[in-house]
Amino acid sequence: MRWTSRARPARSARPARGAPRRGVPDAAIATVTVVALVSGIWLVRSGTEGHPPPQPSAAQADARSEGEAPAAPPLPPSPPDRIRIPAIRVNAPLVGLGLTSSGSLEAPPPERKDVAGWYEAGTKPGETGTAVVAGHVDNAEGPAVFYNLGALKRGNTVEMDRRDGSVAVFTVDAVEVYDSRNFPDEKVYGPARRPELRVITCGGGYAKKTGYQGNVVVFAHLTGSR
C-alpha cells in the first residue's frame, strides 16, 4: 500500500511532462507491485500461522427428532474393516483400539496418519448399541485422516465395510465439540437402544502447552445397509 501512495502523487504532480508515455507502464508496475505485496503478506502470514482444522458450527449441534432419517434394523455383529465418509473424502482402513491405563480410548498409531481405529471391545458398527471410531486430526507432519471431520453436516453419511461383506450406512445426527475438562462420557460412549456410531477426533482450541483442548464428536445412527 505504501508504494502506491508514493507513486500516485508523483504522476499527478507532473501532468505535462511526458505523462501519457510513462503513465501506462507506471500504472502496470504499480498494480503488479500492490498485488505482489498484498498476496505476499497474505501468503507469509497464513503460511507461518498454519491451518487449524474446521470446527463444527452451533447449527450442527444435537437437535434430536427433527427431520431425522428413520433408523434401520440392527445388523448381526461383524467387525468393521474400513470407514468411508464421502462428504469429506475419507476412505480409511480400521485398526482395533483398546483402552489406555486411565480408561480413555486409545488412538491409532500416530505415524500411520491415514488409518482410523474402532473400539474393539465395544459394540460392532451396525449392532444395537454405540460403536466408537477414532482417528487423528493431525500428526507431527501435518493433517491426518479426520482433519476435516469438523466440517461434516447433519444428514451426511458414514459407511462402514464389515467383515461379513455388508456395508453399514449411518446418517449424521449432530457434530459437536467437547472440552476435555467437561467431557460428556455417557452421551458419547453410553449405551443406545438402536445401532449408533460415534466418530471422534481432536478439536476445540489449541494451546502449545496442552495441545488440542477437546474432541470433535460426530453422532450418527444406522439408516441402511447393503
Partner 1 sequence: MRRRRMLTGTVLAAAAAGLSAAPAHAGDATTLDLYPSTTAPGATVSVNTKACGTGETATGDASAVGAGMFTLAPSAHDGEAIGQFKVPPSAQPGTYEIVAKCFRGDKEMAGDLKVILAVAGTQQQPKGRVETGVGGALGPDPVQTAAGVAALAVAAAGGTWLLHRRARGDRI
CB of 70 to partner 1, least distance (A): 26
- Is 134 a binder of partner 1 (CB under 8 A)? yes
CB of 120 to partner 1, least distance (A): 5
54 to 73, contacts with partner 1 by CB under 8 A? none
Across 64-181, the runs of DSSP E, i.e. the strands, are 80-85, 90-97, 116-119, 129-135, 138-139, 142-143, 157-162, 167-179
Among residues 15, 20, 70, 141, the one that binds partner 1 under rule CB under 8 A:
141
Among residues 212, 218, 221, 225, the one that binds partner 1 under rule CB under 8 A:
212
Report H helices in the chain: 2-13, 19-49, 185-189
147 to 176, contacts with partner 1 by CB under 8 A? 147, 163-165
- Do 146 and 89 form a contact (C-beta atoms < 8 A)? no
| Length of the chain, in residues | 226
CB of 198 to partner 1, least distance (A): 10
Residue 110 one-letter amino acid: P
Q: Residue count at the site for partner 1 (CB under 8 A)?
A: 87
- Is 125 a binder of partner 1 (CB under 8 A)? no
User: Nearer to partner 1 by C-beta: 50 or 70?
Assistant: 50
Among residues 39, 73, 153, 155, the one that binds partner 1 under rule CB under 8 A:
39
- Is 51 a binder of partner 1 (CB under 8 A)? yes
Angstrom distance (rounded) from CA 67 to CA 65: 6
Residue with cell 497474505: 42
CB 220: neighbour CB atoms within 10 A? Answer: 27
- Is 215 a binder of partner 1 (CB under 8 A)? yes
HSE-up of residue 110 (Cα within 13 Å, Cβ side): 9
